[in-house]
Amino acid sequence: LSALISPSLGPDEILHSLAGPPSPPGQDPHGWRVPVDCVRANELCAAEPSCSSRYRTLRQCLAGRDRNTMLANKECQAALEVLQESPLYDCRCKRGMKKELQCLQIYWSIHLGLTEGEEFYEASPYEPVTSRLSDIFRLASIFSGMDPAANSKSNHCLDAAKACNLNDNCKRLRSGYISTCSKEISATEHCSRRKCHKALRQFFDRVPNEYTYRLLFCSCKDQACAERRRQTIVPSCSYEDKEKPNCLDLRNTCRTDHLCRSRLADFHTNCQASFQSLTSCPGDNYQACLGSYAGLIAGFDMTPNYVDASTTSITISPWCTCKGSGNMEEECEKFLQDFTENPCLRNAIQAFGNGTDVNLSPKNPSPPITQPPKTEKNPALPDDINDSNTMYDTSVITTCTSVQEQGQKLNKSKEQSLCYSETQLTTDIMPDQKTFVDQKAGGSRHWAGRILPVVPLLLLKLAL
């Protein structure tokens, strides 16, 4: 059990720990049960004697035993069957929630005993993402009032740093992690890696995505900009090390920590390449993949980053190698390629840099639009904003280059430079017009409509 639950929390503390007073689980608009977070599910289980006793039994069964041994015990099997019907079995956590670590400890205390050995991909313990990139674009309002010619020449990563400095929370937390990650400890230790990771994690968990994404995924046309982007997370402390460990060893180390294990599982869930979608992303959701990537940063030594300052290709990797893998080399290469050769992650980063999202037809038909919404122009960021952290200013995305038209395939050309208004990028495509009126034919019908009432009068005169 000690391997499953942190020593800082005893079994009774975990079992009887209470979340705040969140509302009971309900139904979402589509009739599905809204997931309960594991802290709340633990509270519900503790209040029910049958569930509480079975949960204690299962934890005792899992302590020091493998899955097959556990299932061979009838009492353990009965406890598992009961818990599969409880809120604990389907509970999830939210990234950055107040009791995130406690929630994850409860989740893994059950799910680590339900898998057959070590799985290559693990299910994410986090609630699924329902927002999309277009929501980020709308919140950021970074498209309105921008001049395409100016944007094509601007340093998007520097613009992102300036935008962050205009927000008190973003500026404070960004300055905090840069200071922490740059502080030399001794002649042999130039920084505290642990404190650096913690400060980075606070920044990406507490600052809205419209700021963090622009810092992480800004589009670049020159090497200086790309190097700023690579320096965003202060890689000399948070990413690089004296030697590169084996990637499978790095994964195993990550999985001994509930938080790192959860962030890695979430990345695989939302960024695993899918050949059944237009974008290569599960559910064609770029936002879910980018959010999982950002969540993995400062996930201890599994932190990924750009491997170079290339402007022609995007290559992401954790700080590890597959050398010395022996007969596990194929599995190691597969794990590493989920970062270095991941079309979903690459397309998601490029889509954000281009200011585009996949166009998905709404499930319910939109009402007819009688008047297009007005586009309000916001003043562009002034050029003379002082950036106190210019050393690590990451290129900011003025997500305005190489914009795709709605419904087109991913645009691989980097030559075009178009800029759409926010409403054009966040409003669904208007339904196709069902009927077309020929102007000439319409004119003939209108003329005929004026002649027909005269015909009866002519006939009446002839009859007289």
User: How many residues appear in the chain?
Assistant: 464
Q: What angle do CA 94, 178, 251 make, to 5 degrees?
A: 50
Mean per-residue pLDDT, 201-226: 93
pLDDT tens string 376-425 = 433 333 333 345 444 444 333 333 333 333 334 444 433 333 333 333 33
Mean per-residue pLDDT, 4-23: 38
Between 464 and 37, name the one with better pLDDT: 37
Per-residue pLDDT band for 74 (boundaries 50, 70, 90) equals: confident
- pLDDT value of residue 268: 96
Give bridge partners of residue 93 from the DSSP assignment: 126
pLDDT tens string 126-157 = 999 887 777 766 655 543 333 333 455 688 99
Site of tokens 């994850």: 104
The whole-angstrom separation of Cα 192 and Cα 184 is 8
The whole-angstrom separation of Cα 13 and Cα 9 is 6
Mean per-residue pLDDT, 64-88: 78
258 pLDDT higher than 70:
yes
- pLDDT value of residue 140: 55
- Under 8 Å between Cβ of 67 and 117: yes
Instruction: State the DSSP code for 27.
Output: B
Please state the φ and ψ torsions of residue 338, each to the nearest 5 degrees.
-65, -15
Enumerate the domain spans of the chain.
38-112, 138-354
pLDDT tens string 19-32 = 333 334 444 444 44
Q: What is the mean pLDDT of the chain?
A: 73
Give one DSSP letter per residue of 397-454, joined into a string: P---SSPPPTTPPP---SS------HHHHHSPPPPPPS----HHHHHHHHHHHHHGGG
Q: What angle do CA 433, 370, 361 make, to 5 degrees?
A: 50
360 pLDDT higher than 60:
no
Mean per-residue pLDDT, 171-187: 94
Between 89 and 345, name the one with better pLDDT: 345
Q: How far is CA 4 from CA 72, 211, 395, in A?
A: 20, 35, 41
Q: What percent of the chain has pLDDT over 70?
A: 62
Per-residue pLDDT band for 65 (boundaries 50, 70, 90) equals: low
- pLDDT value of residue 411: 42
Q: Which fold has domain 138-354?
A: Annexin V; domain 1 (1.10.220)
pLDDT tens string 155-175 = 899 999 999 999 999 999 999
- pLDDT value of residue 438: 43
Site of tokens 């003025």: 398
- pLDDT value of residue 275: 84
Per-residue pLDDT band for 113 (boundaries 50, 70, 90) equals: low
3-class SS at 317?
Answer: strand
- pLDDT value of residue 139: 58
- pLDDT value of residue 198: 93
Task: For residue 59, give both structure tokens.
Answer: 């934890």
- pLDDT value of residue 359: 59
- pLDDT value of residue 372: 42
Amino acid type, 136: I
- Under 8 Å between Cβ of 116 and 82: no
Mean per-residue pLDDT, 355-384: 45
Please state the φ and ψ torsions of residue 340, each to the nearest 5 degrees.
-75, -30
3-class SS at 118?
Answer: coil
Please state the φ and ψ torsions of residue 364, each to the nearest 5 degrees.
-105, 135
This prediction has a pTM of: 0.68
pLDDT tens string 277-331 = 888 999 889 999 999 999 999 767 899 999 999 988 899 999 999 999 999 999 9
pLDDT tens string 87-106 = 888 899 998 889 999 999 99
